Chain A
Amino acid sequence: MKTENIFIALTVVAWIMFVGFCIEAGVLAFNVVWSWFIENGLNIKSMGIELRELLSFSAWHHTVFGSLLTAVAVFKALLLYEGIKLTGKLSLKEPFSEWVTERLKRMADYAWQAAVASVCVEIYAEWLKKQTITLGISFDNDWSGFLLLAGILYVIASIFKRGIQLQQENELTV
Chain B
Amino acid sequence: MPLIVNLDVMMAKRKMSLNELSDKVGITLSNLSILKTGKAKAIRFSTLEAICEVLDCQPGDILEYRNS
A interface majority secondary structure: mixed
Complex Cα distance, B40 from A84, in Å, reads 36
Interface footprint category on B = 10 to 19
Residue B32, interface by CB 8 Å: yes
A172 at the interface (CB under 8 A from B): yes
Closest to B41 in A: A172
Would you call A58 an interface residue if the criterion is a C-beta within 8 Å of the partner chain's C-beta atoms? no
Nearest opposing residue in chain A for B30, CB measure: A174
A168 contact set on B, CB distance < 8 A: 41
Chain A residues, Cβ within 8 Å of B40: 172-174
State in angstroms the CA–CA spacing of A169 and B41 once bound together. Answer: 6
Q: Is B42 an interface residue when CB atoms closer than 8 A count as contact?
A: yes
Per the bound structure, the CA–CA distance linking A172 and B39 in Å amounts to 7
- Chain A's closest residue to B35 (CB) is A174
Closest to B51 in A: A174
- By a beta-carbon cutoff of 8 Å, the part of chain B in contact with chain A is 27, 31-32, 34-35, 39-44, 47
